[in-house]
Chains A and B, each alone.
Chain A
Amino acid sequence: MSYLVQQLLNMLQLGSLYALIAIGYTMVYGVLSLINFAHGDLFMLGAFLFFIVITLLKLPFIPALIITTALSACMGVLTERLAYRPLRNAPKMSAIITALGVGVFLENFTLALSPYPQHIPETVTNRAWLIGNVTMSSIQAMIIAVSVTLMLILDFIVKKTRFGMAIRAISWDRVSVPLMGIPVNRIISQTFALGAGLGGAAGVMYSSAYPVIDPYMGIMVGWKAFISAVVGGIGNVRGAMLGGYILGTVEIAVTMFLPSTYRDIVAFTLLLILLIFRPHGILGVPRSVKL
């Protein structure tokens, strides 16, 4: 029993991280119909920014988290301005290739600074609480709590505020929305800021939990988050959260019952099967193509 509860906690931890990163994918796709393949590398950049903030500025965890999130948001806006906006009206294929290029650029940019893996110093006092036979660490609790809080805030923004309404409007129809007086460019920039900021926050928590960071750490995590977003229904924020938790659960569950080498193949096969039956993801809604 305690074994199952322990694994459940592991699922929650991994799922929270995937969900947080998946939201960034899904939001950018929502407003631009662009799969931002550089998102995983923005997450990596967040981890490195966090490393710089805590080693150079020597800030404690909470201020470091806030500053890193803000810096990551700026990076998101910057990539949108420099790489995606000039191609806004170009064919979709060009935008996807650009996204891949931005990712490779970010990886090599970090690689050029230092090729060695860096070690993140401990910023959250690591404590392990024993409840019955189940151990919960302070970092695990922090990841789950911060992620869930950030996701609740985001859900509120998207569903209840004027800004969120604008995002949803643009995602529905980018052509006629400017006619209603909505500043499309500003909203898109803000969406990028929000998505990249969450990615950066995920980078902070990921590197606190797994404190060795390297320039390529965003690739696999980025793929997993992308899959989470697709499973939940890409473009749908709640779907991305659900997808993140599903992927986290499947990965841990496979390792529980099968040799861990099967983890990725079983997880991805399950997801492919799901997509065959629900091509729009679990919470996605099929849309007719506008002509």
Chain B
Amino acid sequence: MAMKFNKFFTVFITLSLAVILTGCSNKESSVKTENDVIKIGVIAELTGEIPAVGASCKNASEMAVKAVNDSGGIDVGGRKMKIKLQIEDNAGRAEQAASAAQKLITQEKVVAIIGPNSSAGAIPASEITETSKIPMITPWSTNPKTTLDTRLGKPKRYAFRACYMDSFQGQVLAHFAQNNIKAKKAAILFDSSSEVLKGQAEVFKSTFEKNGGSISAYESYTQGDRNFSAQLTNIKNSAPDIVFLPSYYSDVPLQVQQAHRLGMTTPFLGSDAWASSDLLKLCGKDCEGFFFSSHYSASSKSPDTEKFVKAYETIYKNTPDDVAALTYDSLGILFQAVKTAGKAEPEAIRNAISQIRDYHGVTGNISFTQDSGDPVKGVVILEIKNGAFNWYADVNP
């Protein structure tokens, strides 16, 4: 009996060893044939609460890759290599973003990852890429924690973003209010239940005061509020020259309309939280003439942007939003880094990205100069005019 078992065991072990060995050799040969291909992972919010963001990211990344592959591939140390995309869904959720990053790195063996777009997904995904030493570029996440290691208090080495951070946006808006609108007194009404919007309000306040302006009213509300009459009455009573309104686009129409009902004629100034075509639909003529900041404008006169918008529109039949433009730039940065690195290896790519200066992207010029993953780049100011978002100014740091 024991003898029989031993025999069976030996056979079993031999067989499984054989399988493993052939499996390994198979894998080796497949890597060899795919050697001319660079595998890049994309993590996008294809389902969940912001599927429009994921769709834009997927569209723009496929478009960018197709352009490179159609031109014969990317020049890596004298050899033309094609790009292969592996797109994963994270549903806008933290745990799915982390497992998607894990899968891309261990199973798909990607050399770099684009995304996730929402900070909720980008922060956990960047923890994984950091420990695996795989470079990651998030197109859209503005939260500081995405590129900052909060435990060590210093920048993460492998995490980059293509968008500006909120602190910079707040400063630009304060300057814009003071220099372009000539405001001396500003009031602020912000959503205190959102970390992002609260941060924008704080930066605006400190910058505005530092430059000699005064804040006449600092009012807040919480998500889901519909009635802002008390706060707006306080603001009206303080007689500001401008009202800074870091609010999501669904709240802005209510606030502006209630302000108008109170007889206020003060101009409002918004942040990138306004940037949704739904704002135009919901706000109508009440928002006419107001300014807000954004990552990019589809109506920009820059030739790079015009070319991108035209190409995107012919393929997908709609105007690319900021996520699409930032995704396109993220891939552009990655391609340039691969080219300058001369090899498709994570560490070399990471070093090349950190040395990018003055990359001419769809969303403006991008440089990584601060030894961190946060680029130095401009903010676009948009004006709501004739029921559309119109490019008004580029503000560069």
Q: With A10-B229, A13-B229, A251-B230 as given contacts, are A260 and B260 in contact (CB-CB < 8 Å)? A: no
- Please measure, in the bound complex, the distance between the C-alpha atom of A126 and the C-alpha atom of B231, giving whole angstroms: 20
- Evaluate contact between A211 and B257: CB separation under 8 angstroms: yes
Nearest opposing residue in chain B for A139, CB measure: B261
B234 within 8 A of A: yes
- Evaluate contact between B220 and A7: CB separation under 8 angstroms: no
Distance (Å) between the CB of B310 and the closest chain A CB? 29
- Evaluate contact between A14 and B227: CB separation under 8 angstroms: yes
A217 within 8 A of B: yes
Q: Please provide the chain B residues from 266 to 316 with a CB less than 8 Å away from any CB of chain A in the complex.
A: 281-282
- Evaluate contact between A212 and B192: CB separation under 8 angstroms: no
- Please measure, in the bound complex, the distance between the C-alpha atom of A3 and the C-alpha atom of B237, giving whole angstroms: 7
A220 within 8 A of B: yes
- Please measure, in the bound complex, the distance between the C-alpha atom of A156 and the C-alpha atom of B254, giving whole angstroms: 35
- Evaluate contact between B227 and A135: CB separation under 8 angstroms: no
- Please measure, in the bound complex, the distance between the C-alpha atom of A7 and the C-alpha atom of B227, giving whole angstroms: 13
- Evaluate contact between A260 and B230: CB separation under 8 angstroms: yes
- Evaluate contact between A261 and B233: CB separation under 8 angstroms: no
Distance (Å) between the CB of B240 and the closest chain A CB? 15
B253 within 8 A of A: yes
- Please measure, in the bound complex, the distance between the C-alpha atom of A252 and the C-alpha atom of B227, giving whole angstroms: 10
* B contact residues around A209 at 8 Å (CB): 227
- Chain B contributes a number of interface residues (CB within 8 A of A) equal to 26
Q: With A14-B227, A14-B229, A261-B192 as given contacts, are A119 and B220 in contact (CB-CB < 8 Å)? A: no
Give the contacting residue for A10; candidates B221, B230, B237, B254; CB below 8 A: B230
Q: Please provide the chain B residues from 195 to 245 with a CB less than 8 Å away from any CB of chain A in the complex.
A: 219-222, 224, 226-227, 229-231, 233-234, 236-237
- The binding surface of chain A is classed by DSSP as helix
- Evaluate contact between A252 and B192: CB separation under 8 angstroms: no
Give the contacting residue for B281; candidates A119, A135, A220, A252; CB below 8 A: A119
- Evaluate contact between B229 and A128: CB separation under 8 angstroms: no
- Chain A contributes a number of interface residues (CB within 8 A of B) equal to 31
* A contact residues around B258 at 8 Å (CB): 210
- Evaluate contact between B253 and A212: CB separation under 8 angstroms: yes
- Evaluate contact between A6 and B233: CB separation under 8 angstroms: yes
Distance (Å) between the CB of B261 and the closest chain A CB? 4
Distance (Å) between the CB of B193 and the closest chain A CB? 8
- Please measure, in the bound complex, the distance between the C-alpha atom of A206 and the C-alpha atom of B258, giving whole angstroms: 13
A140 within 8 A of B: yes
Give the contacting residue for A261; candidates B222, B254, B261, B262; CB below 8 A: B222
- Please measure, in the bound complex, the distance between the C-alpha atom of A105 and the C-alpha atom of B118, giving whole angstroms: 31
- Evaluate contact between A212 and B229: CB separation under 8 angstroms: no
- Please measure, in the bound complex, the distance between the C-alpha atom of A119 and the C-alpha atom of B256, giving whole angstroms: 14
* A contact residues around B224 at 8 Å (CB): 216, 220
B263 within 8 A of A: yes
Q: With A6-B233, A10-B229, A259-B220 as given contacts, are A212 and B282 in contact (CB-CB < 8 Å)? A: yes
* B contact residues around A117 at 8 Å (CB): 250, 282
Distance (Å) between the CB of B283 and the closest chain A CB? 9
Q: With A211-B257, A212-B254 as given contacts, are A255 and B263 in contact (CB-CB < 8 Å)? A: no
* A contact residues around B281 at 8 Å (CB): 119
A137 within 8 A of B: yes
Distance (Å) between the CB of B184 and the closest chain A CB? 21
A113 within 8 A of B: no
Distance (Å) between the CB of B216 and the closest chain A CB? 14
- Please measure, in the bound complex, the distance between the C-alpha atom of A14 and the C-alpha atom of B230, giving whole angstroms: 10
Q: List 14 A-B contacts (CB under 8 A).
A: A3-B233, A10-B227, A117-B250, A206-B226, A210-B227, A210-B254, A220-B224, A252-B230, A255-B230, A256-B233, A259-B219, A259-B220, A261-B220, A261-B222
* Residues of chain A whose beta carbon lies under 8 Å from any beta carbon of chain B: 3, 6-7, 10, 13-14, 117, 119, 126, 128, 130, 135, 137, 139-140, 206, 209-212, 216-217, 220, 251-252, 255-256, 259-261, 264
